[in-house]
Structure 1
């Protein structure tokens, strides 16, 4: 109930004119629910552009990042090469470096590449997901080496072994990576705030911050709650689709 109630209260506020900020009385359901907040914000703000930007960044970024994580995790788990331990340790060390430290150099690289105010400015720097690579490696360690050796003896090359033998066993892993990757990119605020500038190019989290000071609304909280309610739906859909794989993947990667 503690986890669900804020989401419920957000939906109730979205159905209340002005949110619940114009009333000193707290209530669990409005006496006169209305869709006026939705109509007002969708009519005056480019909400569909914001949703489209977030969907493109989250979908494409997650798909590419999952591919990178699967390949890197497989290499670190199943290939023996000089410096593998040092390289893996270096990957893990980067988890401890906060984004604020690398914000300026990352922005300079994106700016020199001419990608500022573009969705690719958000997608490309986040393709390397250390947590995703860690989870993928832990999962790949459980794939029997004998299975890979049998494929190679049968004449399968390295790419075919990975695609035809390893990937079919990675359904739970893919579910975990998709849910975590999509959620992180959909909710990301700081990096899109830095590299996206035009109002129609913003993602939903950044756009929500602009509504609180928007003079077009007498009380912005109704509009904020309306947009926030709509933006929860894609996350719920992704989780419901990959729910079973997510639970199996978390159980099988040693993170219990």
Structure 2
């Protein structure tokens, strides 16, 4: 069998691109390149603006005290020193502050994330009288400023005997309305048929939650861990009210103590701020792969 001959008439009738079309294509390509270049320039400028405070924090922390108080401070340190880190280690209970912040943040993450996951699962997959009313009441708590509830919250904490204790910082914020909302929105997207099939196989509700729901909820769990750790690690107002002994202070309170001195050691302040920033960066780097997916999935139904 011989191969069919190509239709030379059809090939001959195909119009060649005109000079006008070629010019339009070249212009469109040039416009795309210009747009991409402008986008990259905007991204680079934004990155520099965001990174410069971190750089200045590092540069101030590793430069000598005399250089910090010069009339015109250069962008690059003229001398490098670790004296500021050594001073905050020797002059202040830096280790105690770090241990207190770590304990409060880690325990609060474990408790808060567990409660938010359970509450969000109940609101997403169970039907009971008053469910929507209770859920909207929880959302209404997001509109209440923390300053409004500081006094009653302090009185309850004092009545429970939790003042000047890490548990007095952890327990009053054991559940977050924002976390419950995010988990509920995420778990709505989990198919009900999957849970019904597990119930037909004889699985209990807790087993379904642990074996099916939690593995599917890794993105939102990562988001909750990042947000909760960040909130607890940086929390200032409530620990300031509850904690009175300097040995019980957290790093934000210690940082405020250094800053409030009559003659602040700005090199030490920046050194302490830099050290307090590292755990948050570590947590973000560990869980950042799930961050965007978890936030984006909270709007699915």
Distance 1:155 1:84 in 2: 26
Offset at residue 19 of structure 1 (A):
8.0
Distance 2:83 2:68 in 1: 15
Matched, 1:16 2:63: yes
5+ residue gaps, structure 1, are: none
SS in 1 for 2:97: helix
Partner of 1:51: 98
Which 4+ runs in 1 deviate beyond 6 A?
Answer: none
2:133 to 67, 86, 109: 86
2:249 to 178, 202, 205: 202
Partners of 1:19 and 1:225 within 8 A in 2: no
Partner of 1:167: 214
Offset at residue 213 of structure 1 (A):
3.3
2:276 to 219, 231, 235: 231
1:127 to 155, 161, 174: 174
Partner of 2:7: none
Partners of 1:19 and 1:222 within 8 A in 2: no
TM-score of the superposition, structure 2-length normalised? 0.82
2:154 to 107, 111, 122: 107
TM-score of the superposition, structure 1-length normalised? 0.96
C-alpha RMSD of matched pairs (Å): 1.3
5+ residue gaps, structure 2, are: 1-47
Give the number of the structure whose alpha-carbon radius of gyration is greater.
2
1:74 to 109, 121, 127: 121
Relative contact order (C-alpha < 8 Å, sep 6+): which is higher? Answer: 1
* Paired residue total: 253
